[in-house]
Amino acid sequence: MPRLFDLRLELQSVTPRVWRLLRVPADLRLDDLHHAIQAVMGWDDFHPHVFEVGASEYGPRPERRDEGDEEPFEEDSAWAGEGSDITVAQALEQSADTFIYIYDFDEDWRVRITLEDVVEAGGPVTVECLAGGHGGPQQDARSPAAFTVEIANHRLARAMRPRATPEFPAGPRATADQQLLANLSLVVLLLGSRPTRHGTREAWKTVRAEMLDALHEAGLIETDPQRKSVTITDAGVAHAQRLLQKLRAL
C-alpha cells in the first residue's frame, strides 16, 4: 500500500503561531510540495523559494549571469538540484525527519517541515490539509489570509490539479487548439533561443505567460519570475525539434 506522511508545517519567528498539518504521498516531489505549501499558506507564488534539506538546497537553479552583467555568476555550492529531483521521503531521510522551506528571500519566511506520522493509504492518494492555525502573512503588505481547513483544501484542489506533460503541454484538460498553441510556443522559443556556456538554450519571454507556465509545468522549459529569459530543457529541445521536423515536412 502507498504510504502517506503527516507533515507539520510551522512558520518560524511569527506571532501568533502559524501552522498546518498536511497529509501527502511519500513519493510527492518537492516541486509539488512547494505548490501545496503555497496553497495552504494562502500565498500566490510571487517570489523565489528553496528547500533546505540538510546541507543541500533544492529548488529552481540559482540565477545565472545574463549577458552584459558585470559581476560573474558563481554557482551556489549548496544547490543540489530541482525540486522535481527529490521526493518528500528522500528529503526526510536526508534531514533527520525535518527540513526547511524558504519563501520570499527578502521577507525570509521559513517554514519548518517535520514528519509527525506515517499512515497507509486506504483510498485515493491525495494531498490534504488536516488541521492548522492562523492565516499566513501575505505578500505586498496585504492582511493575513483567512484560514480554515475548508479554504485550504479548496486551494489545494486547484493547486494539485493534473499537471501538463510533454504529450499534453497545455495541460491534460486543454483543447486541441490550446495544445497546438503550447507546442508552437515552444517552437517559437527554440527558434529565438541562443546557446549558453552552461550547455542550455535560452530565449526571451516573448510569448503568452500562461503558455510559458504550462511549458514549465511540462518540464520543457525552466522559467523564473525574476529573469527576462527562459531556459529550454533537454526534453524541450528534443520535443521542439521533433515538431519542427513534422512542420518542415508539410
The parent domain of residue 195 ranges over 176-248
> Whose CA is closest to 20, among 2, 43, 1?
43
Question: Residues 123-178: pLDDT tens digits?
Answer: 778 899 999 998 888 766 556 677 899 999 999 988 887 778 888 888 777 788 78
CATH number, domain with residue 92? 3.10.290.30
| Residue 232 in this model has a pLDDT that exceeds 80 | yes
Helix (H) or strand (E) holding 79: strand 79-81
- Rounded distance, CA 188 to CA 241, Å? 11
Instruction: Report the pLDDT value the prediction gives residue 70, as an integer from 0 to 100.
Output: 47
Question: Mean of the pLDDT values across residues 22-29?
Answer: 95
Q: Are residues 152 and 180 in the same domain?
A: no
Would you say residue 171 lies in a domain? no
Q: Is 61 helix (H, G, I), strand (E, B) or coil?
A: coil
Contacts of residue 105, defined as CB under 8 A and 6 or more positions apart, other chains included, come to: 47, 48
Q: What is the DSSP letter of 63?
A: P
Nearest-5° angle of CA 142, CA 147, CA 153?
120
Domain count, the chain: 2
What is the reported pLDDT for 64? Answer: 53
Is position 166 within any domain?
no
Question: Is the domain of 205 the same as that of 149?
Answer: no
- 190 & 149 share domain: no
In a domain, 88, yes or no: yes
Backbone phi, psi, residue 57, to 5°: -120, 140
* Banded model confidence at residue 20, pLDDT cuts 50, 70, 90: very high
